[in-house]
Every structure is written in structure tokens, then in C-alpha cells.
A and B are shown apart, each in its own frame.
Chain A
């Protein structure tokens, strides 16, 4: 693969780490030939805080506040994966109501994340107005979160075996109101953006990824689904109670930035559909598993069997992780968010490997921006949807 070098005086431009369209602290070193990008080297690590190492010195309940600082746009997903890992490891069941509350929170969080993707993405393309539109809706989601969890962003809401608190009185109606309001909002976005000729000119055919390439690079989430592959972990590897709702996987086959935009906007609509169904048929009962079952170490015992062991009424703060290992994953707004957890019969995880979707998706950036124009870097980087908190961890 040899690039035709028309001119020899190449220019090396440094973008970041402090740059308004670098979505945090990504740094790109771009080699330019005129306005054509010849080479691009991403430099990471400006927000590396050692999250995986910190996890090895924290119990799960102590570590829960940290996880919302990975992906601070889709905070609920990081909490979900953090409690799912020990739950699957110790085979803890959660009550239906807790599962429904989790689904509602996760989908609200997905909308919040996609909204805060849409605004800066459009701002990168030069359209500032949608940034103000999305904050109008996003603040309402924050209000819902604040009413239920007490915090706007860093909720610390999920617990092993359920959630920290039940939904407050009247929250369900507020949530339904929001759903109706938000569907109108999405229509407004689509009228404003989707048919906009300037927007189409900037995104159509930019940053093309074929389906095969997307699989080979290990992409996930909207990046993968925009390349014609119908892979959504909520369908493929169902968790919580997603199989009880009627919704469709959003996908496009074009594989360019426009397709990624369409997938994300479609996902917001589908999320609203899921929330409406979940709110409609949310069951009563406890919001937290009051009986933790713990297996004897020699062999697995059945639920309610002789060897079935009750350890406490609630999952205790010093929840012990047995000597097993597993990989769990959820479909976060940015892709597959996974945890590889190794327990060691101790309170702390022996290893807590995070598989952040943004980090894996970012790998393809140097290939995508090559032979494109300088201004297309923002489009492509924006359409990848990264958050440096989870890329660097």
C-alpha cells in the first residue's frame, strides 16, 4: 500500500489534548499533505486514572462510585455491569421489579448518552443549534434521575441484587410524560437535521466501514450495526428482562457516518418504546433481593435445596467473590461494555478487566481518516462516539 505523495513538504499538526472537538483529552498527531490526511496517530492516556488497579483494592460496594466515572455519559451502564459481574459470579437472582427498574434506568441513560453524542457531533460539523436542543431534553432525563437516585450524573443506584431505592411516588407518570414529550423532540431533530443538505454533504460516504471490516476490528454498538450487522447484545445475549419487550434492533447497511447517525437516532426511539412498555407493566414487589443465596464451596446446590445456604438478609457490604472467573457484557450506548472478573475468595476482585467499547472502537480511527480531508477528522471521530473516561480509564 503506497500512498501517492504529490508534494514532499508534509505538515505535522498536533490536535489536542485540549481541543474543543477532541471529546475530552484525546490527542491526535496528524500528518497533512495540503489538506489531505496522510497519517494519524492517536495518543491516549491523558485521563488514565488506574481504574482497574483501584478495583483490586475495593469491595464491590466501595467500587460502585468509581464506575460512573468511566463512561460519564452513560452512567447507568457502568453501574449495571459492575453489579452484573458479581451477580453472575455468585448466581444471585434479582426480583422482577428491580429488573424492570434497571431496564427503565438503562434506557433513559442510553437516550441521555445518545443525546450528548448528537449535540457535540453536530457542533463538530459546525451546527451549534442542536447542542442547545439536546440539553433541553437531557435536563429532563437528569431530573428523572435526580428524583429517583438523588444525583444528576453519578447516581450510585444499582446494588448487588437490585437497586438502592424504589421509584418515588409519581415517578412513573413523570417518566411517561417524558416519553411522549421526547418522541416529539426526536421528530424535531429529524426535521432539523436528517434532511439538511449541508449535514448530508458532510456525513454521507465519510468514514465508510464495511461489515467485514467492522467485525474484524472488533467494533460493537452503533458502529457495528451501521455496517449492516444486526448485533445487539440485548437480543443476542439477553440480560435483565429485555426479552419481555417488543422492540427492534436498529441497523443500517451503508456503513458511513450518516448510517451511524441514523442508527443512534433510531435507537433513541426504540429506547422510548422499551421504557413505555416497561413502565406500563412494571410489577410490584421488592426492589432488592432480600435473600442472597451462596453455594457451598464443594459443589453447586440448587435454589431452596438442602445445601442451599442463606448468608444474610441483604447482600452484605463485605460481599465475598468466590474463586471463579467470568466475562459479562452489556450493550452500552457505545457498544459492548464488558468486565472480565476473577474472584479469589476475598472481598476484593483479584482482577477486574474492563472492556470499554470506546477504546476498541477508537482503534479504527487512523485507518478511517486516511486519505480524507482535515475537516473530516471531526466528523469521523464524532461518529465513532468516544468518551475518554472509558478509553483511558
Chain B
């Protein structure tokens, strides 16, 4: 049935030499296994999920979706990022190990897209939060467009020089000022229903500081009930 045979290396090539540089070799290995973070907030993620499906199958580019940011090299910001979601996105990006790449997927994450006017809660472009390597327009981009963006990112990685990379890492990676995200007093103490049912008075006054300290000093049952 299948007339096209897989091009096996013939016997003569077993002794051949491939010349390369450590730089190219590391770039090549890096671009061949870009593991994306399974990150998606809204519509673009559905097209991203189509890529996992059998028609587009982005595993063939070496993209194995990971659920943990600590195992991921690439984050496609699929979907609208709101101001409430922004600290979470920055945290996820910071948790990813170096080298890490960002593809801003969709109009929402490039400029805010259709929510750049009249919306009071969206971030106007994800590059205000994290540095972006490839901008991928579309609302949502078709899976073919995502593959195109991946090809462009791979091209970018293949031209990287290790020294430049380490230099730029030492500097401030973000173009804007550093973020000042404060941990505020948490209202989510895990006693959502219990407050309503038991009317327990103590739980509301627990600030996040005492919550973090609780492991060492306060017996934890005091926190909850």
C-alpha cells in the first residue's frame, strides 16, 4: 500500500560525520522539544486543544503539553487575560525554568483585541506582564496559524547564541517596571459554607500572615473551627 518508504540511512552513512557546534546542538535539541504549558483561559484554548487532537497533532513538533509550569519550556497565552488572572499568569511564568518562551496567542493577549475598548477588566496585551517572543494574531487563530507561530519560534531558537541568552537573563527581562504584587489579606479561608451554617465568629479574622505562620506556631484546627 504505502509506496513511499521511510528514508532509512543506508549502510554507507554509518561512518559519516556531522559537524556542528555546541551552540547549534543545544539550540537544535531545545527547539525539537518545546513542551508547552497547558495554559488556557478562554476561546483560544479550544483551538489549542484542537492542536492536541488527531488532525493537527502537534506532538510531531515535539510539543508535549504539560500541566505543571515547572516542566514547561513554552507558554502559549491562550485566551483573554484579565486583571484578576494577571498575577497568576506572572507567577506561572516565573515558575517556568529557563530557557522559556512565550507565544501571545490571539488578539486579546496582543493588544486586548475586542476587549481593548469599553472593558474595565482585561489586560491590554500580555506583553505588559511577561516578555513575548512571538505574536500570533487571530481571534481565535486557526490551528494552522499556531503551527506557523511555532515554526517561527523554532527559527528564532535556532539562531540563538548562548552568550546573548545569559546576558539578557541577567538584565531585566520585562520591558516595563517590575511588578509589585502584594499578598493581601485572604478572604478565602476554606470556611465558605461553614460560616453560613455554624456562624463561627473566629474564622473571618484570620489574615494571610497568620495563615502562613500557622504551620509552625498555631495549631491548625484553630484556624478552621
Contact = CB atoms under 8 A, between A and B. Distances in A.
Interface of B: 38-43, 45-47, 49-50, 52-55, 67, 79-80, 82, 84-85, 88, 92, 114-115, 118-122, 139-140, 142, 188-194, 197-198, 220-221, 224-225
Contacts of B92: 18
B189 A12 contact: yes
A15 to B, nearest CB: 12
A258 B220 CA distance: 38
Q: B-side binding surface: helix, strand, loop or mixed?
A: loop
A18 B39 contact: yes
Interface stretch (A3-11, A181-189, A266-274, A298-306): A3-11
Nearest to A75: B43
B84 to A, nearest CB: 5
Contacts of B120: 50, 53
Given A9-B221, A12-B190, A49 B41 contact: no
Contacts of B43: 68-69, 72, 153-154, 389
A65 interface: yes
Contacts of A17: 85, 88
Contact of B46 (A41, A45, A73, A132): A73
B67 A132 contact: no
23 contacts: A9-B221, A12-B190, A17-B85, A18-B88, A24-B41, A29-B190, A30-B190, A31-B224, A39-B193, A45-B84, A46-B82, A47-B42, A47-B79, A48-B84, A49-B122, A50-B118, A54-B115, A65-B114, A135-B55, A139-B55, A142-B50, A370-B193, A388-B41
Given A39-B192, A49-B119, A25 B85 contact: yes
Interface in A158-197: none
B193 A49 contact: no
Given A1-B197, A24-B45, A152-B47, A49 B121 contact: yes
B115 A49 contact: yes
Measured as residues with beta carbon below 8 angstroms from the partner, the interface class of chain A is 35 or more
Given A10-B221, A18-B88, 9 more contacts: A17-B88, A29-B188, A41-B193, A47-B82, A68-B43, A131-B52, A135-B49, A135-B55, A138-B50
Contacts of A39: 190-194
A23 to B, nearest CB: 10
Interface string A38-63: 01110101111110011001100000
B43 to A, nearest CB: 4
B139 A154 contact: yes
Given A24-B41, A39-B191, A153-B46, A135 B221 contact: no
Contact of A47 (B39, B80, B189): B80
Contacts of B114: 65-66, 69
A99 to B, nearest CB: 27
Nearest to A69: B43
Contacts of B47: 152-153
Given A31-B224, A48-B84, A135-B54, A57 B118 contact: yes
B140 to A, nearest CB: 6
Contacts of B115: 49-50, 54
Given A18-B39, A69-B43, A366-B192, A139 B220 contact: no
Given A18-B92, A139-B53, A40 B82 contact: no
